[in-house]
Amino acid sequence: KIFIGGVPITCSEEQFRNYFEPFGPISKVELHALRGFGYITYESVESVDSCLEKYEEHYLSKKWVEVKRSIPRELIDAYEREQ
């Protein structure tokens, strides 16, 4: 699963999916364009890795978007409890 930040509010779910699909089969799309972010869940880790390799090159509607590996909420909570 990847997190995409800086998504333009004009981006449609179809554009979002079409942009990220070439990196591999997608099992889930979550787009919150009005809030400027979204998630893509790929069927394989290899797809996530190939997408992350192109970090500097991701543009939606001519706007650069930041793509990061999504960390499950449970892991973040567990980590914060340990600190």
Q: In angstroms, rounded to a whole number, what is the distance separating the alpha carbons of residues 55 and 67?
A: 6
**Other residues' Cβ atoms within 10 Å of the Cβ of residue 67:** 23
Tell me which residue has tokens 């190939």: 50
> For each of the chain's 83 residues, which pLDDT tens digit applies?
999 999 999 999 999 999 999 999 999 999 999 999 999 999 999 999 999 999 999 999 999 999 999 987 777 777 788 87
The residues that bridge with 38 in the sheet, in sequence order, are 4, 31
Cβ pair 62, 32 in contact under 8 A: no
Please report the pLDDT score of residue 11 as a whole number: 96
Write down the pTM of the prediction.
Answer: 0.87
Q: Are 39 and 4 in contact (CB under 8 A)?
A: yes
